[in-house]
Amino acid sequence: MPANLTRRQFAGSVAALAAFSALPRAAYAQAALAPFEQRWPHLVALMQGYVGPGKVANMVAGLGWRTFEPDFFALGNTGFTSGVEADENTLYRIYSMTKPITGMATMMCIEDGLLTLDTPIAEVIPGFAQMQVQKVYDGPITADNLEPAARPVTVRHCLTHTAGLGYAIVQQGPIAQAYNDLGLSPGQVSRLELPGIFRAPAVRNLQTFAERLATMPLVHQPGTRWSYSVGLDLMGAVIEKVSGKSFDAFLQERIFDPCSMTSTTFRVGAGDVPRFSTNYTIVDGTLVPIDLPESSVYLDEPAFPFGGAGLVSSTRDYDRFLTMLANGGEIDGRRVMAAASVATGTSDLFPDTMAADGRFQFGTRTFGYGAGGLVGTGDAEGLYGWFGAAGTCGLVNMKLGLRHTLMTQYMPSQAYPLQNDFPVAVAADVAAAAGARG
């Protein structure tokens, strides 16, 4: 989930970004001869400002234009006491950066004719046929505070967080407790007792998760406003049903294998522990380890594959996913998904029933939303991607062909303005490079 969304805008100097992205191949080749620190000075300064004083143990950035090979820059070690340098193959808990991957898996099912954007979820999971909605947001779960849903919950709604579904990390009061009691907390952080995020263990079956979720009231009328939710976790259950394959197997076969994403998984194997990062929480300005590689909760089989928050990945792997998107669904000569499916999934999919003030906003700016990720508007047109609860970022500008990923590990992500400052620093560097080239 994005942190400190009221602080800054993403776009930066987009006119300069566009100018730089139009440079011929020779210009890229010439620029690549310069050291990373000269090409990305604002980004390097940002990273040094976090790793140098020990605000985080490490940072790894991956940047790439069009389908060219990415640039990686790493600082720090996988943990403060690990003695192992972080690099593009270090493993990170990417949490909600799982959502765009699940979103594109959904677009593949649509491409295959198994779904449409406006297929009612009840056609796949019948329990969603008669949904009730809270009249008072986060109020009591009682008959006098419920009313029938005005319209069916659809695939589009789940992809764009407009289904009215709740989230145990967002809701308060009785419905938050009910979500936890039913195991509707699809995520994991630590073996420690950590109140406030993923507060209860998840039910141990994806289809059971979906069936139980259908018994909960919605917190908003479907299709009326953006509200961060378990919609992408629900889509994992839908994908299982319509494809006839387990959700994790579908991702492996349709995305991870063809994109050569060899480090992206729901469970970390014993052989990968040496390159797994430590996750920290910030307590009174001090970083405290909450999930160490050798004893991580990610060494266990998860309750089910969490389509909204479950993946571990590397900077290199996530850049592979973004490269596939930037190239219209193709990578290394392999067609992963149709260009039209990528274009649709990275476009604004908000329904036309949205309330006037219901769209995704931060600060004074309004954004669209696509298949599991934000969609830029105005001078940020073409931007698509999302963020992770432990400080990670994954964005691609489809219009300009710029891929940018940042990995680190700290919680809560809003403790620092990093997820806002990272794309701004990247934009400043590109603007400076474009200006230097006239």
The region of weakest confidence among 29-33, 63-67, 97-101, 348-352 is 29-33
Answer whether residue 244 is part of any domain.
yes
- Asked if 149 contacts 222 with a C-beta cutoff of 8 angstroms, the reply is yes
Q: What range does the domain containing 306 cover?
A: 14-99+262-436
Residue 342 makes CB contacts below 8 A (sequence gap 6+) with: 104, 107, 325, 328, 329, 398
Same domain (yes/no): 290, 427 = yes
Report residue 430's pLDDT band, with 50, 70 and 90 as the boundaries: confident
Q: What stretch of H or E contains 95?
A: none
pLDDT at residue 350 above 80?
yes
The pLDDT assigned to 260 comes to: 98
Residues 153 and 273 both lie in one domain: no
SS3 346: coil
183 CB-contact burial (10 Å; exposed 0-12 / middle 13-18 / buried 19+): buried
Tokens of 409: 């590990």
Give 255's pLDDT tier (boundaries 50, 70, 90).
very high
pLDDT band with cut points at 50, 70 and 90 for residue 363:
low
Spatial CA neighbour of 321 closest among 394, 380, 370: 394
- Percent of the chain exceeding pLDDT 70 equals 90
Question: What confidence score (pLDDT) does residue 432 get?
Answer: 85
User: Which tens digits make up the pLDDT trace of 395-412?
Assistant: 999 998 999 999 999 999
For the chain, give the longest Cα–Cα distance: 68
Q: Is residue 162 part of a domain?
A: yes
Does 129 lie in the same domain as 242? yes
Helix 98-111 to helix 315-326 angle (10° resolution) is 40
Peptide bond into 35 cis (omega under 30): no
CB-count burial class (<10 Å; 0-12, 13-18, 19+) for 29: exposed
The predicted pLDDT at position 199 comes to 65
Top pLDDT among 34 and 266 is at: 266
Assign residue 197 a region: left if phi > 0, alpha if psi is -120 to 50, beta otherwise? beta
- The answer to whether position 316 is within a domain reads yes
Indicate if 216 and 358 belong to the same structural domain: no
Asked whether residue 105 is assigned to any structural domain, the reply reads no
**Is residue 256, in this structure, part of any structural domain at all?**
no
| 318 and 423 within one domain | yes
Claim to verify: residue 153 and residue 293 sit in the same structural domain? no
Same structural domain, 359 and 307: yes
Do residues 281 and 159 lie in contact, with contact meaning Cβ atoms separated by under 8 Å? no
User: Same structural domain for residues 73 and 140?
Assistant: no
Residue finishing a domain among 198, 216, 249:
249
CB 301 within 8 A of CB 58: no
Q: In this structure, what DSSP letter does residue 159 have?
A: H
Q: Is residue 8 part of a domain?
A: no
pLDDT band, residue 31 (cuts 50/70/90): low
- What is the residue whose two structure tokens read 């909600």? 96
Q: What is the mean pLDDT of the chain?
A: 91
Q: How high is the pLDDT of residue 198?
A: 60
pLDDT band at 16 (very low <50, low <70, confident <90, very high): very low
Q: Does residue 167 share a domain with residue 123?
A: yes
Same domain, yes or no: 281 and 385: yes
pLDDT tier for residue 17 given thresholds of 50, 70 and 90: very low
Q: What is the mean pLDDT of residues 305-314?
A: 98
Secondary structure of 183-248 in the HEC alphabet? Answer: CCCCCCCCCCCCCCCCCCCCCCCHHHHHHHHCCCCECCCCCCCCCCCCHHHHHHHHHHHHHCCCHH
pLDDT tens readout for residues 195-249:
656 668 899 999 999 999 999 999 999 999 999 999 999 999 999 999 999 999 9
Nearest-angstrom CA–CA distance, 93 and 277: 8
Q: Mean pLDDT across the stretch 101-109?
A: 99
What are the pLDDT digits (tens) for 137-153?
Answer: 999 999 999 999 999 99
Share above pLDDT 90 across residues of the chain, in percent, rounded to a whole number:
82
- Give pLDDT, residue 365: 82
Please say whether the beta carbons of 419 and 4 come within 8 A. yes
Q: What is the pLDDT of residue 24?
A: 45
Query: Among 249, 282, 305, where does a domain finish?
Result: 249
Within-domain flag for 106: no
Instruction: Report the distance separating Cα 131 and Cα 230, nearest Å.
Output: 16
Q: Could you give the CA distance from residue 424 to residue 248 in angstroms, rounded to a whole number?
A: 34
Q: Are residues 144 and 59 in the same domain?
A: no
DSSP state of 19: H
pLDDT value, residue 70? 95
- 3-state SS, 301-339, equals CCCCCCCCCCCEEEHHHHHHHHHHHHCCCEECCEECCCH
Number of domains making up the chain: 2
Say yes or no to pLDDT of 286 above 60: yes
Q: Is residue 293 part of a domain?
A: yes
Whether 287 and 139 map to the same domain: the answer is: no
Angle at 400 between CA 395 and CA 404, to 5 degrees: 25
User: If residue 351 lies in a helix (H) or strand (E), which one and from where to where?
Assistant: none
Which helix (H) or strand (E) segment is 291 a member of?
strand 286-291
pLDDT higher than threshold 80 for residue 258: yes
CATH number of the domain bearing residue 388 = 3.40.710.10
From 183, 215, 249, the end of a domain falls on 249
Number of helices and strands in the chain (H, E): 13, 16
Report the distance separating Cα 375 and Cα 347, nearest Å.
6
- Burial of 337: CB neighbours in 10 Å, binned 0-12, 13-18, 19+: buried
